[in-house]
Amino acid sequence: MLSDLHNHSLFSDGINTCEELIEQAIALGLQRVGLVDHVWRRSEWVPSFIDSTNRLKEKYEGVIQIVTGLEAKALTCAGELDLNDKWREKVDYILGSIHRIPSGSNQFYSKHDQSLDKSKVYEDWLSTIQGLLRNDMVDIVAHPAAELIQYKIPLEEETIKLLCHLGKLSGKVFEVNVKYKVPIQAFLNQLIVQNIPLSIGSDSHSTAQQKLRLGDIIATHQSLALCNLI
Ligand SMILES: [Zn+2]
Ligand SMILES: [Zn+2]
C-alpha cells in the first residue's frame, strides 16, 4: 500500500492543516497517509488533534486511509519520552525520536559544541536508542540514527547488529525516512535480512514537501516491495 506515515501539520511545526495534507496525499495518489505531530508532555492541542483527525477519518473513509500518531522525543538516555501516557491509546501509533542526544535527564549535547567527546556522545546515543527499543510506548523508531549524521559520528557495524537484534526482540518498526535518507544502507540491509518491520515516511512539514518527496516515497516502496513493510 503506497503510504507516507510521517507528515506534520499546523498542530505542531507544519504549515498546512491536516485536511490540506490529506488532500495533497490524495492528489499524489497515496493510499494511506499518516498525520503525526511533534508532542511534548504539556502539549495542550492533543485533544483537538484527536477530535479533528477522527472527523477527517470519517469524512475520507473509502477515499484514503488516514492514520494518526504523535512524534515524541527521548528526554533521557533511558529512552523516556516527552509524552503524556494518556495519549498513547488515543492515536494509532507513537513515533519515538532522538532529536538532540540526551546527556542526562532533560539535558542534551549540542552539535555546535567544539569540545564534544564523541565517544561519550555515541555511548549516550546508543543507550538512548536502546531505551526507545525497550519503551512500550514506542511503536516506530523514527529516522533511525539520523542524529549521528548531524553530529558527524559514524554508525558502527557492531551497533547495527545490536540494534537489529534488539529490534527483532522488541517487535518495533524502524522508519525509512526519505527526508534524512536513513537508515544508512548498511543498517537498512541488516534490517531487511532480519525481516524487521519497516515504515516509510517523508517527514513533510507542508504540502509542497509532500509533493517534492513523492518520487522518493514511490522509489522506496519499489525497492522494499519484498520486505516486511507495515
Ligand atoms: Zn523527528
Ligand atoms: Zn518528524
Determine the distance separating the centroid of ligand 2 and the alpha carbon of 177, expressed in angstroms.
Answer: 9
On whether residue 53 sits in a domain, the answer given is yes
One-letter identity of residue 211: K
Nearest ligand to residue 141 Cα: 1
Determine the distance separating the centroid of ligand 2 and the alpha carbon of 7, expressed in angstroms.
Answer: 7
Q: Which residues pair with 34 in a beta bridge?
A: 67
Q: What is the pLDDT of residue 72?
A: 98
Instruction: Encode burial over 30-50: b for 16+ CB neighbours within 10 A, e otherwise.
Output: beebbbbbbbbeebeebeebe
pTM greater than 0.85 (yes/no):
yes
Q: What is the pLDDT of residue 104?
A: 75
Determine the distance separating the centroid of ligand 2 and the alpha carbon of 63, expressed in angstroms.
Answer: 25
Angle made by CA atoms 97, 102, 104, in degrees to the nearest 5: 140
The helix (run of H) or strand (run of E) holding residue 181 is none
On whether residue 179 sits in a domain, the answer given is yes
On whether residue 229 sits in a domain, the answer given is no
On whether residue 228 sits in a domain, the answer given is no
On whether residue 137 sits in a domain, the answer given is yes
Determine the distance separating the centroid of ligand 1 and the alpha carbon of 11, expressed in angstroms.
Answer: 15
Distance CA 132, CA 134 (A): 5
The CATH number given to whatever domain includes residue 123 is 3.20.20.140
- pLDDT band at residue 126, thresholds of 50, 70 and 90? very high
On whether residue 230 sits in a domain, the answer given is no
Domain that holds residue 118: 3-223
Nearest to 174 by CA among 96, 88, 85, 81: 96
3-state SS class at 229: strand
On whether residue 80 sits in a domain, the answer given is yes
Determine the distance separating the centroid of ligand 1 and the alpha carbon of 229, expressed in angstroms.
Answer: 20
Determine the distance separating the centroid of ligand 1 and the alpha carbon of 161, expressed in angstroms.
Answer: 23
Determine the distance separating the centroid of ligand 2 and the alpha carbon of 70, expressed in angstroms.
Answer: 9
Determine the distance separating the centroid of ligand 1 and the alpha carbon of 223, expressed in angstroms.
Answer: 23
Taking all residues of the chain, what is their mean pLDDT, rounded to a whole number?
A: 96
Determine the distance separating the centroid of ligand 2 and the alpha carbon of 126, expressed in angstroms.
Answer: 20
On whether residue 124 sits in a domain, the answer given is yes
Number of domains into which the chain is organized: 1
Q: What is the pLDDT of residue 95?
A: 98
Residues 6+ apart with CB under 8 A from 32: 1, 2, 3, 4, 5, 64, 65, 66, 67
Nearest to 10 by CA among 204, 176, 177: 204
pLDDT > 80? residue 6: yes
pLDDT tens-digit profile of 80-123? Answer: 999 999 999 999 999 999 999 999 767 999 988 888 899 999 99
Measured in whole angstroms, the distance separating CA 136 from the mean position of its chain's CA atoms is: 15
Angle made by CA atoms 159, 194, 34, in degrees to the nearest 5: 90
Determine the distance separating the centroid of ligand 2 and the alpha carbon of 59, expressed in angstroms.
Answer: 25
pLDDT > 90? residue 190: yes
